[in-house]
Structure 1
Amino acid sequence: MPITYGHLLGDKILKKLGEVVKSNIRKNDLFFRYGGEEFLILLPDTNKHDALNLAERIRKKMETSLFVDGRAVTASFGIASFPDDAEWKEELLEKADKALYVAKERGKNRCELWDETFEQKGRVTDKLSGFLTGNDLRDTTKILTMIELTELIKENLSKEEIVFKFLGRLLDSSEGRYAGILFIEGGKIYNQLWRKANDDNWIKFNNINNRLLNKVLKEQKGLYGIDWDEVFEYDVVKNVHLLYSVMLVPIVKDKVLRGIIYILAPSNDKEYKFEDYNYVSVLANILAMLL
């Protein structure tokens, strides 16, 4: 808004928006700016339908109380709820963002509740998100990783050899510490292979979060974020238990779930986000072709 209307008028609009929102939310609700023209309203202990009613009140108040050049200033809303729509904060934000995208796509000045049919919706740039980060070294590593993995098709390698090379390149390009492939048949895991960063051998890894794994198996959708449940290492320097950021990415071939890529990185070094998930999803498609 400040860019579109100029700083002084933009500030007036933002001030009015703040007044409208604050007059409609409770004391324990949170309202803050999330981007250039985007804001978040966090509503504790509120179901999605009550959140929708609140959004509608704010939307209607905005379009009847503030005008620029004779035109109403309007707002669009995307709504998602915990735990109905998402269990992780990153997933919740992503789904609210996609619902907002749909609201804008359907004509703006409207509210949309998250719906499973929005899954494939998103900004045009989302499909490229995670590839071009602006960090030349990381971008080059990711591009080379995809090229090298694609080249494996020409080599006469066993499944284990393919997975070994895949996990090595995955750990390098995703900044992970542990990575594994869980092979699935008939909805059940029948084998798994694991590697650790900077280790040229297979390892045994038993610290899988079964709750997250079962969620992916059930919904056949990946996830990413901080694993607050599974704590298996200790940081002796900081004298604290080490939390891990994790990604679980489905490997799908011929519309059947064939496996899951499971990656872990110390959360104080790396916190996986949508961009990382998007990138590994492409690698998962390459692996599906190789296996």
Structure 2
Amino acid sequence: IEFHKEFLSKGTRALMCIPIRAKLENINYRGEDRRKSHYTNEINEGYIYLETERVFNRFDECRHRLANSLVPIIFINLENYKLKTLSSMDKLTGVSTRKFFEQEYHKAFDEARKSHGGFSVLMIDIDNFKGFNDTYGHRKGDEVLSRIGECLLSNVRNTDLVGRYGGEEFIIALKDAAEYEAMKIGEKIRKAIEKIRISKIKDPITVSIGIATFPKHGQFKEELIEKADQALYNAKEKGKNKVVIWDAQIFDTLHRVDRLAGIISGNINYDQRNILAILDIIDLVRGDLNQEEKVYEFLGRLIETVEAETCTLIYLGNDKKTIKTYSRIRLKPGWIEEPIINYNLVNRAILNKKGEFLIDWENINNMDLILNSPKWKSVIVHPVEFNGEIKGAIYATVPLREKEFDYNQYNMVKTLAGIFSPII
């Protein structure tokens, strides 16, 4: 190592510098006579550097051997880190793979929830990307993806997460960013990509961006991504090359059909369970049981399908007031006599004629005596409609410490409630 005194800290009295190296040996067998070719190669990954300002110090041969003994351990850790970095990065675009992004996204979302900070998701899709591949070839298409990946990374903060979600779709998680900041960054990205120029490509390169923000637009990890995706779809419908923030009107006017979300997921076990549940409810509606028996079986099947703790069917009178409730709890036969229900959520669903899934932060009646905190619940509430009239509501809960209901489970409740509605 060439020694440069000018790089030493002021007052340095002694230093120790040990290269982090490992020997790699290769043995090659060639030909029928199995002649051996043996050579050794060294890889230098960095240095262990120690210095002290003390005149009387312990930088001696013994300490040198001790520090040197750490080299193999440090080398292995550095190699493991490099492998992890390579496996987490999409080679073409330089952004994170979807798997790695989702792992980090869950951590970042949980941190935002605990700190009550802003958190936003941007879904980004390249406009007319198929046309680039068809017109200019896949190599040029890959170049478009690569340049956009670079552009995304250079226009976000080091703390933000950028991933390739699939094909020509990207996703960004913005930490500590509320709606205004997310929109500002989204527009910055859109304008930067609009300026990209690639040789031989004459068509403009643009993207459409959808944004959803926690907690304003959603309180669940999957819900936030779903709503950002809905906003992205709306940006496409508006003519592309736009940034759109999710709102309730988008949900109501979407032309995309989401009826199979939560029913057909690609997971064979879940799909089989969901299809069987649908068939069971159809048979139940057509069966010979009386109304109360059918409700009992329906609630039990609903608990099993969406993995709820309790499930309640609320009957409404002509004045839209509750006239009767049927409620069950998992693994226990019979009815629950006094179910805990947040009627503010039920009334809102009935008034808006639209269900939702959320965490019930309002209900603090049930306390955890060990932790001295409320037993928060994740809730699905959905009105039951038949022939255009609201006849009742489904109210499902599960302890937050166990899980959170997601969009797929909400849609499954909505689907099964629709099938069962003639009984009510």
Shared fold by TM > 0.5? Answer: yes
Counterpart check, 1:234 vs 2:368: yes
Question: Residue 301 of structure 2 aligns with which residue?
Answer: 169
Deviation at 1:57, TM superposition (A): 4.0
| Partner secondary structure for residue 56 of structure 1 | helix
Residue deviations 1:207-232, cap 9 Å, x none?
A: 22234333323322111133333352
Deviation at 1:111, TM superposition (A): 2.3
The 8 Å contact of residues 235 and 242 in structure 1, kept in 2 or not, is answered as no
Identity of aligned residues (%): 32
Say if 1:228 and 1:21 are closer, same or farther in 2 by CA, change over 3 A.
Answer: same
* CA distance, structure 2, for counterparts of residue 210 and residue 268 of structure 1: 22
Question: Residue 213 of structure 1 aligns with which residue?
Answer: 346
* CA distance, structure 2, for counterparts of residue 235 and residue 83 of structure 1: 28
Q: Which deviates more, 213-222 or 192-201?
A: 213-222
Larger relative contact order, structure 1 or 2 (CA cutoff 8 Å, min sep 6): 1
| Partner secondary structure for residue 269 of structure 1 | coil
Counterpart check, 1:267 vs 2:400: yes
The number of residue pairs the alignment matches comes to 282
Deviation at 1:197, TM superposition (A): 0.8
Question: Residue 244 of structure 1 aligns with which residue?
Answer: 377
Output the amino acid matched with 2:305: S
Say if 1:34 and 1:219 are closer, same or farther in 2 by CA, change over 3 A.
Answer: farther
Say if 1:68 and 1:195 are closer, same or farther in 2 by CA, change over 3 A.
Answer: farther
Say if 1:222 and 1:279 are closer, same or farther in 2 by CA, change over 3 A.
Answer: same
| Partner secondary structure for residue 128 of structure 1 | coil
* CA distance, structure 2, for counterparts of residue 248 and residue 30 of structure 1: 33
Deviation at 1:94, TM superposition (A): 3.2
* CA distance, structure 2, for counterparts of residue 91 and residue 134 of structure 1: 19
* CA distance, structure 2, for counterparts of residue 164 and residue 60 of structure 1: 57
* CA distance, structure 1, for counterparts of residue 252 and residue 314 of structure 2: 24
Q: TM-score, normalised by structure 2?
A: 0.57
| Partner secondary structure for residue 379 of structure 2 | strand
Q: Which deviates more, 168-177 or 180-189?
A: 180-189
Deviation at 1:151, TM superposition (A): 1.5
* CA distance, structure 1, for counterparts of residue 151 and residue 398 of structure 2: 43
Say if 1:206 and 1:97 are closer, same or farther in 2 by CA, change over 3 A.
Answer: same
Q: Which deviates more, 256-265 or 227-236?
A: 227-236
| Partner secondary structure for residue 138 of structure 1 | helix
Answer with 1 or 2: which has the greater Rg.
2
Aligned mate of 2:270, from 123, 138, 163: 138
Deviation at 1:288, TM superposition (A): 0.7
Counterpart check, 1:63 vs 2:194: yes
Say if 1:67 and 1:247 are closer, same or farther in 2 by CA, change over 3 A.
Answer: farther
Listed as ranges, the matches of 1:1-291 within 5 Å are 2=92, 10-22=145-157, 30=160, 32-33=162-163, 35-36=165-166, 37-40=169-172, 42=174, 52=183, 55-67=186-198, 69-70=200-201, 71-80=203-212, 86=217, 88-89=219-220, 91-115=223-247, 116-121=249-254, 126-185=258-317, 186-231=319-364, 232=366, 234=368, 242-291=375-424
Residue segments in structure 2 that go unaligned for 5+ positions in a row: 1-89, 94-137
Structure 1 vs Structure 2 CA RMSD:
3.4
* CA distance, structure 1, for counterparts of residue 152 and residue 395 of structure 2: 43
| Partner secondary structure for residue 359 of structure 2 | strand
Residue deviations 1:71-113, cap 9 Å, x none?
A: 44322122445676x3534555433321111212344211234
Output the amino acid matched with 1:270: K
Say if 1:243 and 1:99 are closer, same or farther in 2 by CA, change over 3 A.
Answer: same
The 8 Å contact of residues 103 and 109 in structure 1, kept in 2 or not, is answered as yes
Deviation at 1:233, TM superposition (A): 5.5
| Partner secondary structure for residue 38 of structure 1 | strand
* CA distance, structure 2, for counterparts of residue 191 and residue 131 of structure 1: 30
Q: TM-score, normalised by structure 1?
A: 0.79
* CA distance, structure 1, for counterparts of residue 177 and residue 149 of structure 2: 27
Output the amino acid matched with 2:340: N
Q: Which deviates more, 162-171 or 264-273?
A: 264-273
